[in-house]
Amino acid sequence: MELSRRTFLKGAVVGGAGFSLLGFDLTPAQAQLKELKIARATETRSTCPYCAVSCGVLIYTIGDKAKNVTPQVIHVEGDPDHPINRGTLCPKGASLEQDILNERRLLKPQVRRPGATDWQDISWDQAIDEIGHWIKKTRDNTFIEKDSQGRTVNRCESLAWIGGCTDTNEFNYLVVKTMRSMGLTYVENQARV
Amino acid sequence: MARSWQLKAGFMSEATLAIKKISGHPGPAPGANVERDYQVAKLIDTTTCIGCKACEVACLEWNGYTFTETFFDNSYQTMPATTWNYWNLIKFNEHEREDGTLQLLMRKDQCMHCADPGCLAACPADGAIVQYTNGIVDFQQQNCIGCGYCVSGCPFDIPKFDPTTKKMFKCTLCVDRVSVGLEPACIKSCPTGCLHFGSKEDMSYLAESRAKQLRENFGFEKAGVYDPSGVGGTGVIYVLHDVTNPEAYGGLPKDPHIPWVVRFWKGPAKWIGNLAMLFGVIGVTIHYFRYGPKEIHPRHDNGGKL
């Protein structure tokens, strides 16, 4: 049988169309993936507030910091550049997003009066005033100038200071200056930052 | 060892991945195997797991599922088995050694991402389960019909049904993260470094060298790597203290296979059915030529009416 150019082309076109109809396709199939939820997020470095290990964390926030937008934290994970944890986290640290996005999160000062069973909200001004008042009163009443052998000690044993894990070096310097100036001896801190 | 899964991931767009296998699809996946891609794998070293469950929390957090209340059942284990919204579970197993001492075995249970996935083989819905060219087996919930056949195909009891949406869910190996060059959330969180992620080749090498170390330096003579060939190898491989007894690690099957019923139904049953149909047509045709059309004789006992 003589195969002319025309017949060959016809055959190729018809055959190709047939194969395409039957599902032969050489372009790679691609599946839609779930979009990376932190793709457009702002990355902020921070420190885990829980224990003294002080792991570095990355806080991912959506919202481009535009004037009319309230940013929203969407994810927290370990900071790979942090020398302490190099990106890893413990289960408590891995749940930090829920520490931020939590309806039970404490957002304002509260006080439980002597003898009371529940907490009541107070303003920041009132809280600071009351704390100052109680510090002054306690210190005035219990300040020890001389010990039993008459040596000058100038200390206040009835107050103590405890700091948190995210307190920085500079902050702790100020803490020690302030607390020692009041005569505090019990100054403790778990910060390793 | 020089190969890197990240090289490939870097070239890929963020939103899609090439597909190697498609469930319930006539013919092979279009364009499959025309491009080389690197297999990714998780390595779980059960000998250095401390059972802290950071991977569980990281998985929940990344995938946006909230924690539900659990009950205490005389075990550190969070719940009896993985659920549709809890894809990653550390299984705690108290194992008595031969000398009578107790050993607490901890194994991270999640989808194994088999090279020959039973869920995909059993799935009748076109495109509900796909295997990407990097080896990740992923459920596409928009195509899922909620039939649950994947459960019968899976030797590890992983796919779980959500009664609200009527869809199946399981670990995605954080394909959204992996496709842009990040490691899965569980891997990143692990504080003891018992979880590793990389190309299958690198992870196999690392696993073998760790098993060798356990055998030679730590007295675990039966230490080895769990990468079952019955399902074509897995995208999640374990280093076990005792590779001869994987059942002790919370029911890890010794020799997992896709059930023969699923194999038969998706393999021979198809062409046997087609053959039966073909022979039926041939038989009818032969009958027609041999005996001719069926003649209907009028019945005479009721006056010639049909």
What ipTM was reported for this prediction? 0.77
What is the average pLDDT score of chain A? 88
- CA dist A175 and A163 (Å) reads 9
Query: Residues of B at the A interface (Cβ-Cβ below 8 Å)?
Result: 14-19, 22, 26-27, 29-32, 34-35, 52-54, 56-58, 61-62, 64, 127, 130, 132, 138, 140, 172, 175-177, 179-180, 182, 185, 188-191, 193
Residue B57 lies in a domain: yes
Do the chains contact at A26 and B56, CB–CB below 8 Å? no
Q: A78 phi and psi, to 5 degrees?
A: -65, 150
Question: In chain A, what are the domain boundaries?
Answer: 42-100, 120-189
Measured distance CA(B131)–CA(B52) in Å, rounded = 31
d(CA B42, CA B107): 13
Q: Are strands B224-226 and B89-96 parallel, antiparallel or unpaired?
A: unpaired
Contact A54, A48 (CB under 8 A): yes
**Residues A42-100, CATH architecture:** 2-Layer Sandwich (3.30)
Nearest CA in chain B to A102: B66
Residue B294 belongs to some domain of the structure: no
| Share above pLDDT 90 across residues of chain B, in percent, rounded to a whole number | 69
User: Which H or E run includes A175?
Assistant: helix A169-181
Q: Quote the pLDDT of residue B37.
A: 63
Q: Is residue B280 part of a domain?
A: no
CA distance B179 to B37: 12
Mutant choice from A20, A22, A34, A58 vs B, greatest count of B C-beta within 10 A: A34
Residue from the list B27, B140, B180 with its beta carbon closest to the beta carbon of A36: B180
193 residues of chain A, pLDDT tens digit each = 567 888 888 888 887 776 666 656 666 777 777 788 998 899 999 989 888 888 999 999 988 778 888 889 999 999 999 999 999 999 999 999 998 888 888 889 999 999 999 999 999 999 999 999 999 999 999 999 999 999 999 999 999 999 888 888 898 899 999 999 999 999 988 766 5
Taking CB atoms and an 8 Å limit, are A94 and B16 in contact across chains? no
Percent of chain A with pLDDT over 90: 55
**B86 close to B111: Cβ distance less than 8 angstroms:** no
Is there a domain that residue B293 lies in?
no
Provide the token pair at A39: 């793709």
Whole-model pTM above 0.80? Answer: no
Minimal CA separation from B38 to chain A, in Å: 16
Q: Is B54 part of a structural domain of the chain?
A: yes
CA distances from B41 to B70, B129, B204, B235, B296 (A): 31, 19, 9, 4, 69
CB contact under 8 A, B191 and A85: yes
Phi and psi torsions of A72, nearest 5° = -135, 125
Residue of B231, B235, B228 lying closest to B170 (CA atoms): B235
The CATH number that applies at residue B62 is 3.30.70.20
Beta-bridge partner residues of A46: A57
- B292: its two tokens: 């001719």
Tokens of B252: 């890890």
- The range of the structural domain enclosing residue B163 comes to 5-258
pLDDT number for residue B185: 95
pLDDT of residue B2: 41
pLDDT score at B143: 93
Is the distance from CB of A28 to CB of B134 less than 8 angstroms? no
Q: What is the pLDDT of residue B302?
A: 63
- A100 Cβ neighbours under 8 A, 6+ residues apart: A59, A73, A76
Name the CA radius of gyration of chain B, rounded: 25
The answer for A75, left when phi > 0, alpha when psi is -120 to 50, beta otherwise, is beta
B105 lies in a domain?
Answer: yes
* Whole-number pLDDT of residue A23: 59
According to the model, what pLDDT value does residue B306 have? 56
B216, part of any domain:
yes
A and B: number of Cβ contacts within 8 A: 108
Q: Given A29, A36, A90, which is nearest B52 (Cβ)?
A: A90
Distance of CA B172 to the CA centre of its chain: 10
d(CA B133, CA B33): 8
Residues of chain B with pLDDT under 50: 1-14
**What confidence score (pLDDT) does residue B108 get?**
96
Beta bridge partners of A162: A188
Which residues from chain A sit within 8 angstroms of residue B186, using beta carbons? Answer: none
What's the token pair of residue B210? 């760790």
Q: How many domains does chain B fold into?
A: 1
At residue A27, the pLDDT reads 66
Looking at residue B71, its pLDDT comes to: 85
Residue in B26, B31, B54 nearest the CB of A94:
B54
Of B22, B54, B182, the CB nearest to A90: B54
**Chain-centre distance of CA B111, in angstroms?**
5
How crowded is the C-beta side of B270, counted as CA atoms within 13 Å? 10
- Say if the Cβ atoms of B58 and A77 lie within 8 Å: yes
User: Is B284 a domain residue?
Assistant: no
